[in-house]
Structure 1
């Protein structure tokens, strides 16, 4: 464990930390269609317009990840591959590749002396039985703590009924779904001057709004009624849902189609109920005001610290893993300035919630 933990300070667990391991990059190097690696750049739908992400050590190197953790007092990170995960694989290869990637990720974490765990990726391009079989198999992997899934699910969204048996299998296995946005909103919504604004609109609004819509669709579909034990860990404090929950509930109560279908009854679970029962959130909001809103919406027991490393490096560019990242410190600062470093809320958000829910860092 890190020196921070040895000193008796609150345990710090990062539940939103990406790694594109070399074995995953090797898979993409073998491809000629997006997503692929070309000219030492990762090109997927999210980055194609910018000609891809340069494959720097912060993207794939475990030692660089650990150096970042040490520099920022992070004791444990729960890693996940970033988009596009394995969603691009077809049925004939998805199962074998998912098994191999998850096994290798488990082996990578096993060498970290308790510093690293991971969210597995599922063969969503395969048929439902194959996906569920991989969920069951994950129990063999000591360092797996759940699965990562994009907001598009298997293509038609998280509210696709075909996912209900998958959700049941995950709930039975007590694996949370770390829900991460796919590619934001369509480019057309940013208007004709979008190129003047860089990536500010897609990054600051596209991802959280995609997440907000996806989770709201999941709620409206009745999935949590079908699978009441399903647990999500939703990126970026569940988008804007903590702010919009009351508005969504009001819309439900006044929608004529919804009422005609008999769905708007006093006994229905509200959006607030779902946030407090089925949704955990990471605290990647960069300021204490939205963080307080997330904690007020879901409860202090349901918000966890995250960094989104290796994204949002220092504007001057990363020189390695040990320099200070403002994007990380702003999230920790939001917790300690909002609640105080000696508070129960600080300890819960920074590590205790993740330790309890994901069984890490004991």
Structure 2
């Protein structure tokens, strides 16, 4: 592969850890195998998002299909942004949290295969993240191994919850233990928000729903002591961790005064420095605060490529935050390199 503009000159490589892939053929097969369940899920999405938002999203995604499916279009867009590497994960609509055990296992295996095939077309530029069937905890380790050991992916993407499975669920303990053992990335990216119809207008399903789900999921991890039991976990939270890093003082207060909230070893704010966060916060002031509470080594540049709620120019967002140059350099690429190591070395 010839050198791209992103690789030219003496600049350190820039990594975008939040970029998506769409799998239309796989979705069509899911529709064929489970038509009633797909229809029910679509109805839930209509209720959660509202017709106006679904129509706008459909048009937006339709215009961006090449960037979501074609490696050449992806690389061209990366070059335009000045991005050397992307971590590629599926669009969260491919989580299928309602799927039965058999279908969910097939989806996980097929997704991992397709992600691996996509990134293999540009292995010096792309790093893949697979999926696991979160709603079936007894099968998760199997598909984590499939993604990381079987397909050579850097980790997996998970939602904030699936069915009755919250991230504090004791049934997930083998998954956390195995992820820590493998040293792989677990990318937390919600799909949908359980507030449902309360967010069905003004695109609140995304603007409010996504940061809410991030905050809830991370709070389950922290208060349940998951990070105490598995300190080597590499959990990367999309959307800057949602609301949690910006309201963490309330969590600390609960930990101090409420016995039922005192099940983790330390105040919740201390765990922000055991997690990683992307920069999809849309505001340089918010980014500076995120760096302040989590640390410069724990923030990674992300864009939510190529969706409209992402950042068209993620590098400029980082550089506009007025951070020390060494912190800026870490966020733009060094922190991602440290997380996945040789998997991203060309």
| Range class of TM-score, shorter chain | 0.7 to 0.9
* Alignment coverage as a number of residue pairs: 329
Is the 1:92–1:126 Cα contact (8 Å) retained in structure 2? no
Gaps of 5+ in 2: none
Aligned to 2:58: 53
CA 150–127 in structure 1, closer or farther in 2 if over 3 Å, else same: closer
How far 1:68 sits from its partner (Å)? 1.3
1:116 is aligned, of 115, 122, 126, to: 126
1:303 is aligned, of 299, 306, 328, to: 299
How far 1:271 sits from its partner (Å)? 1.6
SS in 2 for 1:181: coil
How far 1:123 sits from its partner (Å)? 2.6
How far 1:70 sits from its partner (Å)? 1.4
CA 153–32 in structure 1, closer or farther in 2 if over 3 Å, else same: closer
Pairing 1:6–2:8 present = yes
Higher mean Cα deviation, 203-212 or 140-149?
140-149
Provide the C-alpha distance between the structure 2 equivalents of 1:101 and 1:188, rounded to a whole number of angstroms: 30
Is the 1:75–1:361 Cα contact (8 Å) retained in structure 2? no
Once the two structures are superposed, the pairs formed by residues 54-69 of structure 1 within 5 Å of their partners are: 54=59, 55=62, 56-69=65-78
CA 43–306 in structure 1, closer or farther in 2 if over 3 Å, else same: farther
Provide the C-alpha distance between the structure 2 equivalents of 1:165 and 1:43, rounded to a whole number of angstroms: 34
Provide the C-alpha distance between the structure 1 equivalents of 2:197 and 2:109, rounded to a whole number of angstroms: 37
Aligned to 1:98: 108
CA RMSD, 1 decimal: 2.6
How far 1:65 sits from its partner (Å)? 1.7
How far 1:23 sits from its partner (Å)? 4.0
**Structure 1 segments of 4+ aligned residues over 4 angstroms from their partners:** 256-259
Could you say which structure has the higher helix fraction? 2
Gaps of 5+ in 1: 37-41, 314-325
CA offsets per residue over residues 168-191 of structure 1, 9 Å max, x none?
Answer: 11111111210011212414444x
CA 143–43 in structure 1, closer or farther in 2 if over 3 Å, else same: farther
CA 127–149 in structure 1, closer or farther in 2 if over 3 Å, else same: closer
How far 1:296 sits from its partner (Å)? 0.7
Q: TM-score scaled by structure 2? A: 0.85
Pairing 1:269–2:274 present = no
How far 1:86 sits from its partner (Å)? 4.2
Pairing 1:81–2:65 present = no
